[in-house]
Amino acid sequence: MPQMREFFVKTTQQLQVIDITPKVREIVAQDGSDDGLCCVFVPHATAAVAINENADPNIGEDLQDALAKLVPEGIWRHDRIDDNAAAHIKAAILGPSETVPVKKGKLVLGTWQSIMLMEFDGPRERRVIVQITASLEG
């Protein structure tokens, strides 16, 4: 019977990309589910989960740069309250989760796909939740 699992990641920079694929794969392997869906979710409003290539780590940096160009800092309503509105907006655009198919107990990721924690307001300790839902035989 699958159960929710979680782990923690310490980010060290304001903007950072951390490849969490190995940890998610480990949880999926331990879970024992055959076919199903794996949801990787961060319970945070200034971080997100994205999937893309990490073989060239420049891509994560490029994604951070692109979002920084699209959502400049310091010009938003929320900045008068807490100086991190851009981080919230970027997190909302990317979204807090990715859902990945599981087949024969393994994540079905493409060769060039990694699961990445996107930090937009670090350094912080971030919690990552992994929930696998399999269709068990009745």
Bridge partners of 47, per DSSP, are 119
Binding mask 49-68 for its own copies (x = CB under 8 A): -xxxx--x-xx-xxx-xx--
Peptide bond into 2 cis (omega under 30): no
d(CA 50, CA 98): 7
Binding residues with its own copies: total (CB under 8 A): 66
Structure tokens at 69: 């160009």
**23 touches its own copies (CB under 8 A):** no
Structure tokens at 85: 């509105």
The residues of the shown chain that bind its own copies, judged by CB under 8 A, are 1-4, 33, 35-37, 39, 41-45, 50-53, 56, 58-59, 61-63, 65-66, 70-71, 76-78, 80-82, 85, 88-89, 91-103, 108-113, 127, 129, 131-138
